[in-house]
Structure 1
């Protein structure tokens, strides 16, 4: 009897062990994936690469560091980055010139860069004027289907001046006029600097056989001083035929007129409210007719216009995309290709005080007299009260 009781006790002690072993074996069998089912399962997500793991690691480290920082300081920092300086006097000062603030300097730098690019453009034109091949115009598809109107070049320049005046008016009346003007000057500098390179490396025959070109200099007259004086003469006339000073030939690839036409429309549409549709349509019409007039007058080849449109729109859109999204100013371990553009350091310098899109708001660049403001408020108050009584 004692032996039987011992056997029963041993069985009772071993039964829980067998139960636990069976449960663990079942769990282990359930945890093991079925090779056939795994082979048939679709790959809904690719494995992360090493670069993605590094990016996630860096992001987690940044989040941990931000979490350890003081919350009020983080809020103030974010708020200050989101804030756009409203006035030039409230943007801080630069170390080189204590009396001139940051916005004044950036605007001045951008303007000087644009003037430099314009002068370099005319200097290269004065140089390549001596290298223009004296041969018939190149074959062009647009020339073969469009009529020849020599006076259309004047129409293009008149429309260009009108569009430029409207763009400057929109920029000056904008609430954040200084960043807008700075972007106009900076993008214009980039476009005209690129035009200097293309003009210098390739010269094509004159597109309009009836266009007057100044006589070329004699070999002994081709000095730096003579080329410089001729370039300054073109610069004073802003490179326009309407001023009677543009008699040099060779500035074809790519079209400077098309740069101004396209850039004016893009800036007018970007910094004016969407409800100003009539202004947008008018600006688009001016730019389109102005560009077509270049082809009617044989002022440029079709390839000049196409290249100018392509480069102008790409730089404008890239620049404003980087300016509107502050996150794109970081390389993200080489995953952000926007920072690889050659002009990114210049952009980063010019846009160091703006970290979000500029609102489409307007205000006068000067303060109205207090008496005029009171008169206007009283007039509005009387009209509102009269309207209330009529109702």
Structure 2
């Protein structure tokens, strides 16, 4: 809903559109478009946060400090909770692998273990490149961190609720020795080992028991869905790479027996649901549409609404931009204008 401070006879022929970068365009029905300042209109959007930092310039999104700190804290709490649960469940998970439909027909392929790690790394590279070159990179980055944190929190709940035994054919050789008695000191040491390695483990002597929800599949799916959703249309053929990395990587997770089939399936379903529902909620055309949505009755989506309160509803404009332009804009440096064509020895066309 937009109200303009102009004459009634002109008001019916003019609408205003605001982009995610807080620039306004006046769209006239006669085809003439021009930019205008926010002082000439009143928009029924929530008031800006008091933690709003600086001004947007040349497509560089503002960071809201309080929300960023919340998202980062949520991410690290989710990661720490995953490592804590793994450190705990290792001593209580069974040692005999469970039957699996894929294991019944496909033998364990150990080389697929490393291949799966390579595909995870390749998917992350695709995600990083997208965020670096996307015009609204900070918005995309903030959304992805929050979604990943949400999924890792859900993974913590599943790991803590049910202890599945490792799926290797030689669990006794691959996994560390189990201890019958719980030790808080041992738990802290294991968590510290996980933290300094950011969740990565050695091939032998590893902590086992983090089944039921594949973390590798979670990461690859988020990368694939993000690239698919935010890549510009003219670059859409590049979506083939994250698709390939993700689904081949998921197959590697199973045939290497790093995860059961159900682990990968659950991770695929939950990641797709969280990513899709998040964007279905925030990409409503109006803030009022969000409040009328069935999602709004859940506290989680009201939290998302708070995080997205100062971002214009609707889908982001997917455009690539050199990261150097964003850096210059943050520093307040104006890019050098190119010399006139006549000074470059090119004849001016009239």
Structure 1 length as normaliser, TM-score?
Answer: 0.68
- CA shift, 1:111, in A, is 2.0
- CA shift, 1:347, in A, is 0.8
Residues 149-176 of structure 1, C-alpha deviations (whole Å, 9 max, x = no match): 1121211112111211220221122111
Which residue does 1:224 correspond to in 2? 184
Q: CA RMSD in A?
A: 3.5
Q: Is the 1:119–1:232 contact (alpha carbons within 8 Å) kept by the matching residues of 2? A: no
Per the alignment, do residues 146 and 184 of structure 1 end up closer, same or farther by CA in structure 2, a change over 3 Å counting? same
1-structure distance, mates of 2:120, 2:200: 10
Which residue does 1:300 correspond to in 2? 259
Equivalenced residue count is: 302
Which residue does 1:112 correspond to in 2? 73
Per the alignment, do residues 146 and 109 of structure 1 end up closer, same or farther by CA in structure 2, a change over 3 Å counting? same
Residues 341-380 of structure 1, C-alpha deviations (whole Å, 9 max, x = no match): 4521221121111222110012223239999956xx5699
Q: 2:283 aligns with which of 293, 311, 324?
A: 324
1-structure distance, mates of 2:123, 2:132: 14
2-structure distance, mates of 1:151, 1:382: 61
Q: Is the 2:123–2:245 contact (alpha carbons within 8 Å) kept by the matching residues of 1? A: yes
Q: Is 1:357 the counterpart of 2:290 in the alignment?
A: no
Which residue does 1:24 correspond to in 2? none
- CA shift, 1:118, in A, is 0.7
Structure 1 spans left out of the alignment, 5+ residues: 1-65
2-structure distance, mates of 1:139, 1:280: 35
Residues 285-342 of structure 1, C-alpha deviations (whole Å, 9 max, x = no match): 01111111001100111111111100100110110011110343113xxxx3222345
1-structure distance, mates of 2:342, 2:249: 46
Q: Is 1:166 the counterpart of 2:126 in the alignment?
A: yes
Per the alignment, do residues 134 and 359 of structure 1 end up closer, same or farther by CA in structure 2, a change over 3 Å counting? same
Per the alignment, do residues 353 and 130 of structure 1 end up closer, same or farther by CA in structure 2, a change over 3 Å counting? same
2-structure distance, mates of 1:147, 1:381: 71
Q: 2:5 aligns with which of 61, 72, 76?
A: 72
1:89-128 matches, within 5 Å, as 94=50, 103-128=64-89
2-structure distance, mates of 1:352, 1:358: 14
Q: Is the 1:93–1:99 contact (alpha carbons within 8 Å) kept by the matching residues of 2? A: no
Per the alignment, do residues 379 and 287 of structure 1 end up closer, same or farther by CA in structure 2, a change over 3 Å counting? farther
Q: Is the 1:233–1:245 contact (alpha carbons within 8 Å) kept by the matching residues of 2? A: no
Residues 196-248 of structure 1, C-alpha deviations (whole Å, 9 max, x = no match): 111001011210123511112352xx22232022012112222234x669811
Secondary structure of 2:163's match? Answer: coil
Structure 2 spans left out of the alignment, 5+ residues: 24-46, 56-61
2-structure distance, mates of 1:208, 1:108: 39
Q: 1:338 aligns with which of 295, 302, 310?
A: 295
- Worse-superposed segment, 319-328 or 282-291: 319-328
2-structure distance, mates of 1:371, 1:360: 23
1:1-391 matches, within 5 Å, as 71-72=4-5, 82-85=18-21, 94=50, 103-135=64-96, 137-211=97-171, 212-219=174-181, 222-241=182-201, 247-325=206-284, 326=286, 327-331=288-292, 336-354=293-311, 355-363=313-321, 364=323, 365-367=326-328, 377=338, 385=346
Which residue does 1:16 correspond to in 2? none
- Worse-superposed segment, 97-106 or 169-178: 97-106
Higher helix share: 1
1-structure distance, mates of 2:345, 2:132: 31
Higher strand share: 2
2-structure distance, mates of 1:150, 1:252: 18
Structure 2 length as normaliser, TM-score?
Answer: 0.76
